[in-house]
């Protein structure tokens, strides 16, 4: 069973973002009941492909607001603990590390690494069902 994407839980409201990209609840994430770091890396790429509408390598305030809305909508459709963690864990207060109003790919990677390490409670490098 594929895990519904979480962290990448994002968007719908800007005309620049397509309806399909904005429904993150339909994104797949992980393999079966496990999530490896490579899955999280793919998630980061998917987030930027969907939300970095101007292609500058950073999510602007407007782009991140769309991402926030998409995560909240996805959690509303599937209130799994993993999705709910993504709503709060990927908030700007956790991702805009230099507080400049935009989130770069590097900042997102750092935030996702922090999230991954926090959820991987047995520290085996893989998140399993019992950990989320």
| Domain segments of the chain as ranges | 3-131
Angle value at C-alpha 3, between 78 and 95, nearest 5 degrees: 75
Q: What are phi and psi of 55, to 5 degrees?
A: 70, 25
pLDDT of residue 103: 97
Taking the C-alpha atoms of residue 126 and residue 124, their distance in angstroms, rounded to an integer, is 6
pLDDT of residue 34: 81
pLDDT of residue 17: 36
pLDDT of residue 13: 26
Per-residue pLDDT of the chain (132 residues; tens, 9 = 90+): 334 433 333 222 222 333 434 455 555 556 667 888 888 888 889 889 999 999 999 999 999 999 988 888 877 776 665 656 656 678 899 999 999 999 999 999 999 899 889 889 999 998 887 786
Taking the C-alpha atoms of residue 48 and residue 129, their distance in angstroms, rounded to an integer, is 26
Q: Is the pTM of this model over 0.75?
A: no
Angle value at C-alpha 34, between 29 and 35, nearest 5 degrees: 50
Q: Which residues sit opposite 31 in a β-bridge? A: 34
Q: What count of other Cβ atoms lies within 10 Å of the Cβ of residue 122? A: 10
């Amino acid at each position: 069973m594929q895990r519904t994407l979480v962290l990448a839980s994002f968007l719908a409201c800007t005309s620049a973002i397509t309806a399909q990209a904005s429904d993150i609840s339909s994104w797949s994430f992980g393999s079966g009941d496990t999530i490896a770091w490579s899955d999280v890396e793919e998630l980061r790429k998917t987030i930027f492909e969907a939300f970095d509408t101007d292609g500058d390598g950073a999510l602007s305030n407007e782009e991140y607001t769309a991402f926030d809305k998409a995560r909240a909508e996805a959690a509303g459709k599937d209130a799994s603990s993993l999705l709910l963690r993504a709503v709060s864990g990927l908030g700007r207060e956790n991702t805009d590390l230099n507080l400049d109003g935009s989130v770069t790919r590097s900042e997102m990677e750092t935030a996702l690494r922090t999230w991954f390490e926090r959820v991987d409670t047995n520290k085996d490098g893989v998140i399993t069902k019992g950990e989320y």
